[in-house]
Structure 1
Amino acid sequence: MTDIRVKICGLRQKADVAAVAAAGAAYAGFVFFPKSPRNVSVAEARALCLEAPLGLAKVALVVDADDATLDEIFEAVPLDMLQLHGHESPDRVAEIRARYGLPVMKAVGVADEGDLAALFDFSLVADQLLIDAKPPKGAALPGGNGLSFDWRLVAQRRWLRPWMLAGGLTPDNVAEAIRLTNARQVDVSSGVESAPGVKDSAKIAAFVTAAHRAGGRGVAEAGLGAPPILR
């Protein structure tokens, strides 16, 4: 069986953290972006992260944050990883990674094949990649819009760093997404909510269960060879 690591993003309540831990997810994501219905303050995030059990990786999602904002977050919140979900350049990613000394995940929006080159560029400076659906023009949110993209664009590919699939995933389609792409990590936010920013514990459990079950169908079982590195 191939292990699938699941990230549940946009947690706002202690019950959310408990549900994510009970379901067996690997990552808990906290959003620091005022325009998002999932936004949390530094104080709220600190309290939530202190509730997280050992082994559950705590990830801060920020969007084009400056050093002052990042300093405030890092001084108060016990984190394991930083997720950059804005228009950060490779140089900015490297700068942040060096400044704070924690693993950095860079989100890259994908709509067509022309967006894939950025994944290689960011794989040179980030610890992980998050491949998300590119938001529509004029969208208020860079992610968490419940939109998917053509998964065939990343099917059976790999990069220089571990990567995570996001964008429009739900308990009903995550197994198919894993089957088509051979993703070893998946991320969900709106797909396990009953309303924007309101997590549903039953949907969280169903999503993690579906993803873990899909991991039983590994590359060898599917008769696939090693995917090529995309450059």
Structure 2
Amino acid sequence: MRATAKICGLSTPETLDAAIGGGASHVGFVFFPPSPRTLTLEQAAMLAARTPDTVGRVGVFVDPDDELLNGAIAAGRLSAVQLHKTAPERIAAIRARLSGIEVWAAIAVKTRADLDPARRLHGIVDRVLYDAKTPDGASLPGGMGLRFDWTLLRGFNHPLPWALSGGLDAGNVAEAIGTTGATLVDVSSGVERTPGTKDVDKIAAFLKAVAS
């Protein structure tokens, strides 16, 4: 099965268009104020209006409250919500009140044991996102250019559809796909000039590497 890609943390029309034009299956809009990639609801609405319905619009959140979720879902016309650092009970509550919107949960990985929480999310989420575990005390749950040992995923019996994230870029994504068998990869900092500033050429190169 051919791999596809989500370009996350988009914030400008030019970089959004580069992602869509390059063949991204999903685009990510961040709703987390400490992140340099965070969007206002007005920015999200503008970007959503440029995004065709054939491309998934994924909102990225860190343990959000209902007010933020409701506003972002409406403004961003979200097809999925991606939850970081959110307890399974809260994820289940969010899932119960959403209709027609996928729920993804990020799992921070450093060791093989870190994969086990995916099993507890079966029936609660539609997809898990394996991301590199950030250092203790880090202000962001991801988007820091960190990667984990991809061989940890070899032989793992995935209980759910999944995506691979963490430290990916045009130079290593082919290796990552080959090592893990990922059919969806997620990139943010790997296609940036500086934190929060995407680069259209890096987006194009990343998507070309995924397609190859």
The answer to whether the superposition gives a TM-score over 0.5 is yes
Q: Percent identity?
A: 44
**Deviation per CA, 1:122-177, whole angstroms, max 9, x where unpaired?**
23310001000011111110000100001111124342221000000010000001
Deviation of 1:90 after TM superposition, in Å, equals 1.7
Aligned counterpart, 1:229: none
Question: Alignment partner for residue 99 of structure 1, among 97, 100, 104?
Answer: 97
**Rounded Cα–Cα distance in structure 2 between residues aligned with 1:74 and 1:43:** 12
Aligned counterpart, 2:198: 199
2:152 is equivalent to residue 153 of structure 1: yes
**Rounded Cα–Cα distance in structure 2 between residues aligned with 1:211 and 1:77:** 26
Deviation of 1:17 after TM superposition, in Å, equals 1.1
* Structure 2: stretches of 5+ with no match in the other structure: none
**Rounded Cα–Cα distance in structure 1 between residues aligned with 2:140 and 2:20:** 26
**AA in 2 matched with 1:184:** T
**AA in 1 matched with 2:93:** E
Deviation of 1:116 after TM superposition, in Å, equals 1.3
Classify the secondary structure of the residue corresponding to 1:204.
helix
Matched-pair contact (CA < 8 Å) for 1:80–1:103: yes
User: Alpha carbons of 1:158 and 1:7: their partners in 2 closer, same or farther (altered >3 Å)?
Assistant: farther
Classify the secondary structure of the residue corresponding to 2:146.
coil
Aligned counterpart, 2:112: 113
Aligned counterpart, 1:61: 60
TM-score normalized with structure 1 length:
0.88
Aligned counterpart, 2:71: 72
Deviation of 1:211 after TM superposition, in Å, equals 1.1
Matched-pair contact (CA < 8 Å) for 1:166–1:187: yes
Aligned structure 1 segments of 4 or more residues deviating by more than 6 angstroms: none
Classify the secondary structure of the residue corresponding to 1:123.
coil
Matched-pair contact (CA < 8 Å) for 1:37–1:196: yes
TM-score normalized with structure 2 length:
0.96
Matched-pair contact (CA < 8 Å) for 2:191–2:206: yes
Aligned counterpart, 1:222: none
Larger radius of gyration: 1
Structure-to-structure mapping, 1:101-180, within 5 angstroms = 101=99, 102-180=101-179
Structure-to-structure mapping, 1:33-48, within 5 angstroms = 33-48=32-47
**AA in 2 matched with 1:167:** G
Matched-pair contact (CA < 8 Å) for 1:171–1:206: yes
Matched-pair contact (CA < 8 Å) for 1:123–1:159: no
* Structure 1: stretches of 5+ with no match in the other structure: 214-231
